[in-house]
A and B are shown apart, each in its own frame.
Chain A
Amino acid sequence: MIYSLLVLSCPTSGNCTQTAAAFAQCVIARGHSIHRVFFLDAGTYTGAAAAVFPQDEADRIKPWLELAQQHAVELILCISSALKRGMLDQSEARRYEKQASTVHPAFTISGLGQLVDACANSDRLITFGG
């Protein structure tokens, strides 16, 4: 089956975003494919390039990078949610004349059309929030 995920949860608030990453890894392990992971609202913080995690805690971005690098999973940050949270890739940083891009290159900034497309083209749309 084809899965897409909608991630709304803030990666540093509770462990819902981590659960989403572990869920995605398990979806693939069970032989399904992931069409797209769409991060919206506070979920867009997941793509923070400069996040630093304490040594005695889990690295919260690493599972997503593994999904992108090992399984070619598309990680999309919703542009309107991302921008107002200071999550800018290089092109948006240039466009808005901000000093630095803040999004890890494994993530792409795009519009809600990508979420709508994910709904249209997936057998399962799983939402993670809170």
Chain B
Amino acid sequence: MGAVDKKSVLVVVRRSPYGSSLARASLDVALAAAAFEQPLRLLFMGDGVLQLLAKQESEAIGVKNIGRLLTSLPLYDIERVYVDAAAATRYGIDLSNAPVTTQALDGPGIHQLMTDCDHVLGF
């Protein structure tokens, strides 16, 4: 891929961390995009906000720790991370303690985020 081939991608994350393989799949896509230096944004909405709970101990069920994976996002220069504020409130998520810093959006803000990106990948 040449340096000119930059299309921005939004990955929309709507699954809880351990109930579905899609949670891990969506983050792997985000990390791959970052590794190939493609502009990426990540949005947590619906049940996806549950990935933002602190103190996940997935070793108890023998799978990779999604929370720990999220703490590494800044290392991959993934900084444009957004969350549906209403969904986070509904689940009582303390965003200040989340594994990754997020920018809170409302419904119109989410719509704007989608229209700002070239491609949207819904997980």
Asked if the two chains touch in their complex, CB atoms less than 8 Å apart, one says: yes
Residues in A lying within 8 Å of B, measured CB to CB: 6, 8, 40-42, 78, 80-81, 111-113, 115-117, 119-122, 125, 127, 129
Residues in B lying within 8 Å of A, measured CB to CB: 1, 5-7, 9, 21-22, 25, 28-29, 32-33, 35-36, 38, 118-123
Q: Bound complex: CA of A47 vs CA of B12, how far in Å?
A: 26
- Minimum CB–CB distance from B28 to chain A (whole Å) comes to 6
Q: Bound complex: CA of A6 vs CA of B11, how far in Å?
A: 12
Task: Given the known inter-chain contacts A8-B123, A120-B6, A127-B122, please indicate yes or no for A111 contacting B32, CB distance below 8 A.
Answer: yes
Q: Bound complex: CA of A115 vs CA of B33, how far in Å?
A: 9
User: When the two chains form their complex, are residues B33 and A116 in contact, meaning their CB atoms are under 8 A apart?
Assistant: yes
User: When the two chains form their complex, are residues B32 and A120 in contact, meaning their CB atoms are under 8 A apart?
Assistant: no
Q: Bound complex: CA of A43 vs CA of B10, how far in Å?
A: 20
Q: Bound complex: CA of A6 vs CA of B122, how far in Å?
A: 10
Task: Given the known inter-chain contacts A41-B22, A42-B21, A120-B6, please indicate yes or no for A125 contacting B119, CB distance below 8 A.
Answer: yes
Q: Which residues of A contact B35 (CB under 8 A)?
A: 113, 116
User: When the two chains form their complex, are residues A116 and B28 in contact, meaning their CB atoms are under 8 A apart?
Assistant: no
Please pick, from B6, B22, B29, B123, the residue contacting A112 in the complex, using a CB distance under 8 A: B29
Of all chain B residues, which has the CB nearest A85? B21
Q: Bound complex: CA of A121 vs CA of B41, how far in Å?
A: 18
Q: Bound complex: CA of A34 vs CA of B107, how far in Å?
A: 33
Of all chain A residues, which has the CB nearest B122? A127
Q: Which residues of A contact B122 (CB under 8 A)?
A: 127, 129
Q: Bound complex: CA of A121 vs CA of B6, how far in Å?
A: 9
Q: Bound complex: CA of A20 vs CA of B60, how far in Å?
A: 37
Which 9 A-B pairs rank lowest in CB-CB distance, beginning with the nearest? A112-B32, A120-B5, A125-B119, A41-B25, A116-B36, A116-B33, A119-B9, A119-B119, A127-B122
Q: Which residues of B contact A41 (CB under 8 A)?
A: 21-22, 25
Of all chain B residues, which has the CB nearest A4? B119
User: When the two chains form their complex, are residues B121 and A125 in contact, meaning their CB atoms are under 8 A apart?
Assistant: yes
Q: Bound complex: CA of A42 vs CA of B28, how far in Å?
A: 15
